Structures are given as structure tokens and as C-alpha cells.
């Protein structure tokens, strides 16, 4: 997902957090707030990162993983909330979303582990799968516990969306009514960039990042998230593997190139885009029936370029002219 030039004359700032880029754009009326808003959001994101990062040995999430099979750990309100949401979306997606997929991530060479020289064997995958089951995470009275030694948490599929919602709440709380927050493809907008205009978001072509497959209008209050195999991947023996793992098979997902979800809040959009990436078009359609207001665009990973979108997404979306014939409606039944 990329922002379009329309907003380029508006005050905006970028900074890095959680290993990626955050961009904040404000309506023209709010130019003088730009510095203080940026600083506050940076503080919020840095705090959430220090609590939830798998890359920091001193984060709550790293402690939770280290204490697996040993004892519950006390976590912050935000971490608790994100763990609850992760478990909720695990159930909603029938296990496609699983924030305990960490051991699988490591098996396939992600999350700072070394790249396996060859594709992991079926036996190795089978062994690691015993430590993956988000339903077993115990959340009680502000504490979290993974019951089996070797289990780990990885909130990478939902934490950025949650962070965007916190930034969104902050902006509204200080009276800013027109803004767009973009945290590496997790977005939320309020108001309009200028009177009579809309926030327009470009959806990247997963096969050619420099190009767009179309443009979407992001309504006020709405959230958008994209999961793409092209964002992060490993190369094992000349084969590319995406950073999104199917917890049911233990293998990186094949068959999906990208998923974009539009809905009412950014944490839900983030969790659903990861879930639907795993589920593919037909599974995604089933999953979305359970979430009022969620709309989706999914691009299968296949030679002939075609993409599926729900009716509600289609209403706000204009495909690139050369791709008009590639659009297929994903009907709700």
C-alpha cells in the first residue's frame, strides 16, 4: 500500500519504529501540531515496541516466551489486550491466525534465527508444530502464560495495527480531526485531507512493487491493512518462502500474493489481512462473514494476474485501467 501524491502538499513526517517506517499526515489546518503529534506517536510506538517486540530480549513478549512452561508473567494493559485480540482472531480464523507461530518462524529462518541450508524436513516441522497452538495461551488477571517450554509468542501479525489504533485515539483526543497514519501498510484515517477531497490509498501490485493495482478511498475512521509475501521472505535453495506461515501445515503460505483488508479499526484489519493471506480466497470469504464491516481484496499468487474483491471494497476501489479485466467479485455466498 502506498499513499498517493494528493496528500503530498500536506504536512507530514516519517520516522522508524518496530523495524519499519511510520508516516503521519495531517490536514492543512493542523500544520503547527505536526512536531508534537509526531513526538507523541513516536513515544507510543516506542513503548509498544519495547513491550511486544520479539527482537528485544527485555520485552514482555520475550519474557513470556522465556518463561514458557515455567510461570505466568505480568504484562502491561496493552500487551494483555493484544494477546487477547490475537487469541480472539485465532479462534475467528479457525487457527489460520496464530500468534504462537514463533517456533515455526524460527524454523524457516525468520525472527533472527539462521537460515536453514535446506528446506526443513516434514519430521522437523512436525516436532515444532507441537509447540504451536494459540488456544493454549493462558490469560488471567493481567498475566500471560505459555504452558509448554519452547512455545513462543510473535505479535508481528497484529501489533502494528493495534499501535495505529492507539495513535488514532491520541490524535482524536487532542482535537485533530483530519489525519492519516500509515505504519508500513497499516493505516487509519480521520476526516478529509481537504474539503471535498478523500484520503486515497494506492494498493501495490504484489508482482511489481513500483506499480499499483488500483486506488482505494479510505473513509473517515476506517482502517486498512495489507499483508504481502513480497514484504519479507527467505530464499532456501533458490526457492522463495514468505514470512506468513500456515500454522496448520507448519509451512510458509503458498498461493497468495497479497491481501488488503478494509474495516473499522486497524488491529482488526491487521489480524484479518494476515488471516486471509493464510486462508486464500474461499477461506477468506468464510472468515469475513464473521466480521461485520470487513471488506477485502486478495491477489492469488498465480501466473495470470487476477484479483478478487468483496462488493464493499469494490465500491471504494478503482482498478488500474490495464487491470480492469482482472477484477473478480468475491461474492458473499
Cβ–Cβ under 8 Å, residues 228 and 243: no
Position among 3, 106, 204, 243 found at the interface with ligand AMP (CB under 6 A):
243
What CA–CA distance (Å, rounded) separates 102 from 115?
Answer: 15
Q: Min. distance of Cβ 135 from ligand AMP in angstroms?
A: 13
Nearest to 250 by CA among 153, 148, 150, 133: 133
Position among 18, 176, 212, 244 found at the interface with ligand AMP (CB under 6 A):
244
Cβ–Cβ under 8 Å, residues 320 and 211: yes
Residues 87 to 116: which contact ligand AMP by CB under 6 A? 97-99, 101, 105
Counting contacts by CB under 5 A, is residue 90 touching Mg ion?
no
Residue number of the CB closest to Mg ion reads 274
Judged by DSSP in three states, 323 sits in helix
Nearest to 102 by CA among 159, 150, 144, 51: 150
Cβ–Cβ under 8 Å, residues 256 and 245: no
Task: Answer positive or negative: Cα dihedral of 28, 33, 38, 40.
Answer: negative
Say which entry of Mg ion, ligand AMP, none residue 101 contacts (CB below 5 to 8 A, set by partner kind).
Answer: ligand AMP
Q: Min. distance of Cβ 218 from ligand AMP in angstroms?
A: 18
Residues 267 to 326: which contact ligand AMP by CB under 6 A? 270, 273-274, 277-278
Count of residues that interact with Mg ion, criterion CB under 5 A: 4
| Closer residue to ligand AMP (CB): 89 or 199 | 89
Nearest to 206 by CA among 176, 238, 189, 230: 230
Count of residues that interact with ligand AMP, criterion CB under 6 A: 19
What CA–CA distance (Å, rounded) separates 194 from 106?
Answer: 46
Say which entry of Mg ion, ligand AMP, none residue 78 contacts (CB below 5 to 8 A, set by partner kind).
Answer: none
Counting contacts by CB under 5 A, is residue 268 touching Mg ion?
no
Residues 139 to 168: which contact ligand AMP by CB under 6 A? 154, 156-157
DSSP 204-224: EETTEEEEEEEEEEE-TT-EE
Q: Min. distance of Cβ 97 from ligand AMP in angstroms?
A: 4
Q: Which residues pair with 208 in a beta bridge?
A: 205
Q: Min. distance of Cβ 8 from Mg ion in angstroms?
A: 27
Say which entry of ligand AMP, Mg ion, none residue 245 contacts (CB below 5 to 8 A, set by partner kind).
Answer: ligand AMP
Site string for ligand AMP, 176-215 (x = CB under 6 A): ----------------------------------------
What CA–CA distance (Å, rounded) separates 144 from 148?
Answer: 13
Counting contacts by CB under 5 A, is residue 157 touching Mg ion?
yes
With b for 16 or more beta-carbon neighbours within 10 A and e for fewer, the 143-178 pattern comes to ebbbeeeebbbbbbbbbbbbbbbbbbebbeeeebeb
Position among 274, 296, 309, 317 found at the interface with Mg ion (CB under 5 A):
274
Interface residues with ligand AMP (CB under 6 A)? 97-99, 101, 105, 154, 156-157, 227, 232, 243-245, 247, 270, 273-274, 277-278
Interface residues with Mg ion (CB under 5 A)? 157, 270, 273-274
Amino acid at each position: 500500500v502506498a499513499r498517493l501524491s494528493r496528500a503530498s502538499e500536506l504536512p507530514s513526517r516519517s520516522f522508524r519504529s518496530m523495524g519499519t517506517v511510520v508516516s503521519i499526515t495531517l490536514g492543512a489546518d493542523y500544520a503547527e501540531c505536526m512536531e508534537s503529534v509526531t513526538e507523541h506517536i513516536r513515544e507510543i510506538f516506542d513503548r509498544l515496541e519495547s513491550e511486544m517486540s520479539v527482537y528485544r530480549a527485555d520485552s514482555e513478549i520475550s519474557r513470556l516466551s522465556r518463561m514458557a512452561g515455567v510461570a505466568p508473567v505480568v504484562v502491561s494493559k496493552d500487551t494483555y489486550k493484544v494477546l487477547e485480540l490475537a487469541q480472539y482472531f485465532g479462534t475467528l480464523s479457525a487457527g489460520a491466525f496464530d500468534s504462537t507461530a514463533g517456533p515455526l518462524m524460527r524454523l524457516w529462518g525468520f525472527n533472527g534465527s539462521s537460515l536453514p541450508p535446506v528446506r526443513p524436513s516434514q519430521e522437523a516441522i512436525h516436532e515444532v508444530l507441537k509447540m504451536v497452538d494459540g488456544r493454549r495461551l493462558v490469560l488471567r488477571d493481567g498475566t500471560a502464560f505459555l504452558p509448554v517450554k519452547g512455545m513462543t509468542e510473535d505479535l508481528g501479525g497484529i501489533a502494528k495495527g493495534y499501535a495505529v489504533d492507539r495513535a488514532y485515539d491520541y490524535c482524536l483526543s487532542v482535537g485533530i480531526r483530519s489525519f492519516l497514519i500509515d505504519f508500513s501498510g497499516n493505516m487509519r484515517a480521520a476526516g478529509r485531507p481537504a474539503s471535498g477531497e478523500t484520503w486515497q490509498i494506492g494498493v501495490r501490485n504484489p508482482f511489481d512493487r513500483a506499480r499499483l493495482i488500483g486506488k482505494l478511498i479510505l473513509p473517515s475512521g476506517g482502517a486498512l491493512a495489507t499483508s504481502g509475501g513480497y514484504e519479507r521472505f527467505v530464499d532456501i535453495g533458490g526457492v522463495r518462502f514468505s514470512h506468513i506461515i500456515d500454522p496448520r501445515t507448519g509451512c510458509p503460505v503458498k498461493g497468495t500474493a497479497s491481501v488488503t483488508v478494509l474495516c473499522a479499526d486497524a488491529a482488526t484489519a491487521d489480524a484479518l489481512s494476515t488471516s486471509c493471506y493464510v486462508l486464500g480466497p474461499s477461506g477468506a470469504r468464510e472468515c469475513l462473514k464473521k466480521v461485520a464491516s470487513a471488506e477485502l481484496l486478495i491477489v492469488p499468487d498465480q501466473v495470470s494476474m487476477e484479483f478478487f474483491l468483496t462488493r464493499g471494497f469494490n465500491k471504494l476501489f478503482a482498478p488500474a485501467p490495464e487491470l480492469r479485466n482482472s477484477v473478480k467479485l468475491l461474492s458473499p455466498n
